[in-house]
Structure 1
Amino acid sequence: MTAAGAGTADLLGRLRGGLIVSCQARSGHPLHDSPVIAALARAAEVGGAAGLRLNGEHDIRAVRETVRLPIIGIRKVWTPDIPVYITPTFADAQAVAAAGADVIALDGTDRPRAGGARIGELISRIRSELKKPVMADVATLEEGRRAAALGADLVATTLSGYTGGPIPEGPDLDLVRNLARALNVPVVAEGRYRTPEDVLEALRAGAFAVVVGRAITDALDITRRFVEAIARSRA
């Protein structure tokens, strides 16, 4: 069994083929409040979600008190002139693990991160010291290959379209398909999945599970899309 712990296989079994709901709200967002995030997470659980993706120890702790679903935890930390912000340091991973996350997700690219740590070092320490499986968020096939080779337990397409250039409109199904063919670890589809059909296409492309966030939990974004559609119809 891997250093990530004997429960990894059972945990992955709970996520396999399922919907992972991302419940997050940045500072300044009307939903930025841990009890609100916990209520969203509970609604996702009742609705049949297989797991959750949560940001920050406060939200993770609040959700862990009432929800039994597997939690993929991250800690977003923005640092000037540093591109990596998803669980950039081991201290961030420690905080997420201590709050009750079952899986630690981090930026799986080799871009500069605060403190100068390298992705391989972080993956190794999280698995060996925290005894938690690691999900590496990547943007490309090569990044996915490298993260898996360095020991990541799962690879996610979270950063596709977000490491430079214009952001695409839809999900990167080609990346899901290519990673699923190339890797021997589960591939999680994430990034711009907005409809049930998007999710089904990702699963057909080989995704182990699919993360959906704003399209389910962000009332501000959902409302704005409806309002913008009405405005376009009047133009």
Structure 2
Amino acid sequence: MRKLLSALAKGCRIPQRLVYISTSGVYGNADGALLDEGARLRPHNDRAWRRLDAETCLRGFAAAHGCQLTVLRAPGIYADDRLPLSRFASQTPLIRPEEDSWSNHIHADDLAAACVAALLQCRGGPRVFNASDDQPLPISEWYRRLAAALDLTLPPLLPREEVRARVSAGLWSYMMESRRLSNRRLRRELLPAPRWPDTADYLAALAQAPERIAAALASAAKIR
């Protein structure tokens, strides 16, 4: 990001509207609390720290050059070709519901629509949005719904500490963080009518489209 902004600053014209897709990981673990965009930022891993640093660099650039900046803090992005099918193939365990972490999602089409809406706005100053759908879910519930829609075998549900001992450090860095995102600002200012306000709506439609299911299963995307 620093290299990109340096190059942009040397150009003969400065972009007037910038949209950056960041990560909800900048909030870190909130133990399931509901967070709006004013919540304290507590990145837990290097990946989230890099995104927060990029946000900070962009804020400085926008302030220096009078640009409009929109930051979309996105959680798990999904679509037909972005489903975590490798988890079913490997049967890597999930945390049992009573101990599980909360997760958040947004369909790729809705995230794209939010980007377009941000670029069409004409306003001043930076604005941050939680780019999430309406319904946070325990991680295991997301996989349970996927398994039902795609007729797949749900991975085993185990106690939290047992799962931690059995998964990689990288995967655990996702699973250990628990938060629920408020998308009220997104709904009010950018995306009043998302196509997929809930993963249940998406999966219900997917379950009725065998050709889409076949294509999704063939993609086998390795995404959480």
State the TM-score, normalized to the length of structure 1. Answer: 0.26
Q: Which has the higher contact order (CA 8 A, sep 6+)?
A: 2
